[in-house]
Structure 1
Amino acid sequence: MSVYDERPWLARYDAGQPHDIEPEFANALEMFAASVRAAPDRPAVKYFDGVLSRSELDELSDAFACGLLDRGIRRGDRVALFLQNVPQFLVALLGTWKAGCVAVAINPMNKQRELSLLLRDSGARALVCLESLHGPVAGPVLGETDVELVMTTSELEHQSRDDPRVLGDVRRIRCEGAEDMSALIERFRGRRPPAVELGPDDVAVLTYTSGTTGPPKGAMNTHRNLVFNARAVRDWVGIGESDVVFGVAPLFHITGMVAHAALALLTTAPLVLFCRFEPNAAVDLIREHRPTFTIGSITVFIALMNAPEATSADLSSLTRVYSGGAPIPPSTTRAFQERFGHYIHNIYGLTETTAPTHAVPLHGEAPVDPESGALSIGVPMYSTVARIVGDDGADLPAGRIGEVVVRGPQVVAGYWNKPEETAGALPGGWLHTGDVGYMDHVGWFYLVDRKKDQINTGGYKVWPREVEDVLYEHEAVREAAVVGVPDEYRGEMVKGFVSLRPGLTASPEELVDFCRRRMAAYKYPRQVEVLEELPKTATGKLLRRQLRAR
């Protein structure tokens, strides 16, 4: 039985969209240049009440590239972006590519130890940083890195209405030892950098995903990866000239990088940004800019449902809504549809696949797994092959549970400077996702568990090892184990279990606060439970399964 026998609407959808997307652009710069030629005066970015046209974005990123080259940054160097969802992210991203360099996307919630690790691993020579992050986070660790050029900027740039809900606590700050990004751009405005040749297999962005052991790994997202998936999202969702993209996903995250930034650079659809997500501000901006498409973690849509002023009329323009990064409860999709009239479509991907490999087609709804109650993650997207394999690597028949493995133009070339990890994750060019699931007899894919111990909290990925390492830094902690436990809002919550050293004491509240001051907000455990002994196997291996069961 084919995938279309029981889902005729899927056959109709596929008939209008080819499964194989032919190469159109060699790199993301060619992609953007085509959109500038097509609509130079059309808005590229809308930020609160500020607007940057495509030609202005082109001009600003030219100047940024000239500034990098003038300061000795050369082709192949890494430029780290430590920014929220601000227009400067796109300026710096494009300018980095125009200088022939590689962007390093860094979560602005990272603390000193996390930022230092990523800067050192990537070997970044330049850093673009928010003023508000320079003093408390970036400044103290730069001496441990190869960074030679630091540029700072503010959330207040490129708009005139300081929304008190998002920007009320933001002040301009003079950062010692850093160059103002706007001043650098003004010095080189009107100049163009020398032409640079970037091939499809050149690395465009390093996006970091933690490993089960050791330091985080930088996934090498190439220009081919970005261009392919930007086009795949455009065609899957049907983005055209009249559309507006609502940027709720963080741009440093692969979802925001592809389905917001790269999509807006490919098409002539404006991208609406508002620094960081705040539900009331989001509702106001939807009213003002009337976006038609967005993609974000399910927590975004839960927050919109909890915004008391939001009405179906306010969100009526958002006719294409997708969510990925965390499991979606069917009850949430029903509640959102009842309140606002729009169905939340599931989408699935990883950092190593430059985001989507599977998605629910726009004109359909995902079936629900009858046993677990989980929504299907969809069907494979264009040019993507997905398999379910057993422990021996052999394909499993429909209905059998195994590991999801994928291959396609969106799969990364590997991990930055980590050949062994690359070989282990990508044998024969097939990415082993570590997610366990099955395909039903009509072609829908479902996830039922994770092969690894990764925790998925509100769309952010957390590895237990990293949290455990911080807990172990506390003088009273003897043993530590971290698991994900169900949470109504985030999908999963990080919870720690510890045993204490003889003669020492520490309360759960003290341990939570200890981690909170050392880790990004989404990583630290919201709960810590103190036990006399942690459950272990006969060989001493911690039994996380038993801890989850508690």
Structure 2
Amino acid sequence: MQAAPSAPARAHHRVWPRRLPHALQPPATSLWHNLVVSALRYPHKPALVFFDRQTTYAELLAQAERLAAHLRTQGVQDGDRVIVFMQNCPQWIVAYYAVLRANAVVVPVNPMNKADELGHYITDPDARVAICAADLAGELLKANDGVPEGARLRHLVVAHYGDAMGPAAEVPPGWQAWLGSRHERPVLPGGSVADWAEALACTAPLPAHNRGPDDLAVLPYTSGTTGLPKGCMHPHRTLMHNAVAANLWGTTSPETVSLVVVPLFHITGMVAGMHAGIYSSSTMVLMPRWDRELAGQLISRWRVTNWTNIPTMVIDLLASPRFDQYDLSSLVYIGGGGAAMPQAVAQRLLEQFGLRFVEGYGLTETAAPSHNNPPDHPKQQCLGIPFMSCDARVVDPDTLQEMPPGEAGEIIIHGPMVFDGYWKRPDATAAAFITFEGKRFFRSGDLGRVDEDGYFFITDRLKRMINASGFKVWPAEVEALMFKHPAIAEACVIATQDAYRGESVKAVVVLRADARGRTSEQDILDWCREHMAVYKAPREVQFVDALPKSGSGKVMWRWLQEQEAARAAAPIA
């Protein structure tokens, strides 16, 4: 018999949505069955909207089945890994579900990756088949050329974004060449290539679908602080749980229309966008990349009700000079994660639109949300409370003793959404889990605290801490303070070498347009010294036009940190 959760772990039950159970039992089927059920119930209902073209649930099902048949004719067997490599588009979702129908495993890859990075996604999962966008095929083939001959791809399916769009699509001017260009069929040395239409014309029979809850469904990769990215083994049941839970949490129904702009290769877009949408039989309006004007147009035209996003997207949309032309009145649910929503922006959403921004928290290892704010009682700049069926604690990273409310420690997570382990990495898997109160908990590597009400707050990554003369500086805290400066649009805090202090604090800053040329680095330094403890205040400020961001919209602080380390190590001319 398992020990009952401690009192701090149950504190969030006081603010738990009364309409929801604390835990749920998800369907004991594979994710493929969610599409089958939605197509049976709503065959003529739009499942996907891509610019001006709609794809019904019946069409989505039929396309996935035909592509699955093609994959099987190309040698894909039960449990094989298949790469899916493209931006958000209808073909991405067709490809994903086709791989599931073929009894195989999806390897979603960031479309921003270049050849030097892509080789790992071919060799590590032992992938021999890939489905990719035509404009990305060159990078994938370049990577394939560098892979040992026996480990290379043997078949490639190539899709054009334009084939999923209607003739009257209103495309942002800067995207017209990208989305509308036709590319010659690539050549795969030692293998074969099929065009998308050719693959969907396959009439071969399909074997029985034999995947169940415990079978591997997807292998998303996550970067750590060292080494190459690791594949997170997610069976059907982990994603199924969070797809169902996300629907209940966000009051999703078949009448929901969601804007899906968070990348589908990323666990949040995959689960909260695609899987939750298909489970609920709702309509998904797809954006291939972020563009604030297109987002405003799509929300207005398609009467979008639900929008899961990165807070920087909301900030960007609200800053549009055309914002008053868009109609956001259809929105009933807006939320996201990846970064804290600035308090001033959250307050504007509430006052102007009556929307409470619902922040959440999760990792690739937890199938997106392990925490979420109750929609009726959210706290700003807060991770929320443990999600449905989840037990989360804050423990001392060294002693693994549970910390009292208000005290910082490492967030650990137990629940049906937690992955099974890292692909081919038993050492990393063993290091990622601990036994706590008789249960297997995942060590998030994130520092946080829990308040008296059971809400969790992030402090920072364990590995990101800056040690300035023995004082621990957590960059996220400094960044949150700097965001209050009226001239600062964005800031990323990193460590810089200091001969006296060991490390000092450096801020890489993007100024607001109206502050450029009128605000100096010294102005920022002086303001920081006035508004935060001296050991936290940046000793150096660097202005940049934009911060580097990942495909999921997160600031790439590690890249900035590595650039700073390289600069410090370079010899003085």
The bucket for the TM-score relative to the shorter chain is 0.7 to 0.9
Residue 301 (structure 1) aligns with: 314
Classify 1:444/1:205 alpha carbon distance in 2 versus 1 (closer, same or farther; 3 Å): same
Contact 1:166 1:276 in 2 (8 A): no
Classify 1:310/1:407 alpha carbon distance in 2 versus 1 (closer, same or farther; 3 Å): same
Contact 1:209 1:217 in 2 (8 A): yes
Residue 345 (structure 1) aligns with: 358
Residue 259 (structure 1) aligns with: 272
CA distance in 1: counterparts of 2:237 and 2:257, whole angstroms: 24
1:153-168 matched pairs, under 5 angstroms: 153-160=159-166, 161=169, 163-165=171-173, 167-168=175-176
CA shift for structure 1 position 132: 1.0
CA shift for structure 1 position 196: 1.9
Query: In structure 1, the residue corresponding to 2:323 is in which secondary structure?
Result: coil
CA distance in 2: counterparts of 1:132 and 1:496, whole angstroms: 37
1:50-89 matched pairs, under 5 angstroms: 50-89=53-92
Contact 1:298 1:328 in 2 (8 A): yes
Q: 1:382 aligns with which of 388, 394, 400?
A: 388
1:261-300 matched pairs, under 5 angstroms: 261-300=274-313
Q: 1:403 aligns with which of 407, 410, 414?
A: 410
Query: In structure 1, the residue corresponding to 2:48 is in which secondary structure?
Result: strand
Residue 177 (structure 1) aligns with: 187
Residue 187 (structure 1) aligns with: 201
CA shift for structure 1 position 158: 1.5
Give % identity. 31
CA distance in 2: counterparts of 1:223 and 1:357, whole angstroms: 17
Unaligned segments of structure 1, at least 5 residues:
368-374, 456-482, 500-507, 536-550
CA shift for structure 1 position 283: 0.7
CA distance in 2: counterparts of 1:83 and 1:6, whole angstroms: 39
CA shift for structure 1 position 492: 5.4
Contact 2:363 2:369 in 1 (8 A): yes
Residue identity in the other structure for 1:76: G
Superimposed CA distance per residue, residues 15-58 of structure 1 (whole angstroms, 9 cap, x where no aligned partner): 21111211313210122222222211111111111111111111
Query: In structure 1, the residue corresponding to 2:177 is in which secondary structure?
Result: coil
Contact 1:495 1:527 in 2 (8 A): no
1:439 is the counterpart of 2:450: yes
CA distance in 2: counterparts of 1:126 and 1:494, whole angstroms: 41
CA shift for structure 1 position 314: 1.0
Superimposed CA distance per residue, residues 204-254 of structure 1 (whole angstroms, 9 cap, x where no aligned partner): 111111122211101112100111000010000110122111102100000
Residue identity in the other structure for 1:139: L
Query: In structure 2, the residue corresponding to 1:311 is in which secondary structure?
Result: helix
Residue identity in the other structure for 1:35: S
Answer with 525-534 or 16-25: which moved more: 525-534
Contact 2:296 2:326 in 1 (8 A): no
1:142 is the counterpart of 2:121: no
CA distance in 2: counterparts of 1:71 and 1:166, whole angstroms: 37
Classify 1:533/1:116 alpha carbon distance in 2 versus 1 (closer, same or farther; 3 Å): closer
Residue identity in the other structure for 1:398: P
CA shift for structure 1 position 181: 3.8
Over the aligned positions, Cα root-mean-square deviation in angstroms equals 3.2
CA shift for structure 1 position 166: 5.8
CA distance in 1: counterparts of 2:71 and 2:340, whole angstroms: 41
Answer with 297-306 or 157-166: which moved more: 157-166
CA shift for structure 1 position 7: 9.3
Q: TM-score when scaled to structure 1?
A: 0.81
Classify 1:494/1:438 alpha carbon distance in 2 versus 1 (closer, same or farther; 3 Å): closer
Tell me how many residue pairs correspond in the alignment.
482
Contact 1:326 1:491 in 2 (8 A): no
CA shift for structure 1 position 454: 9.3
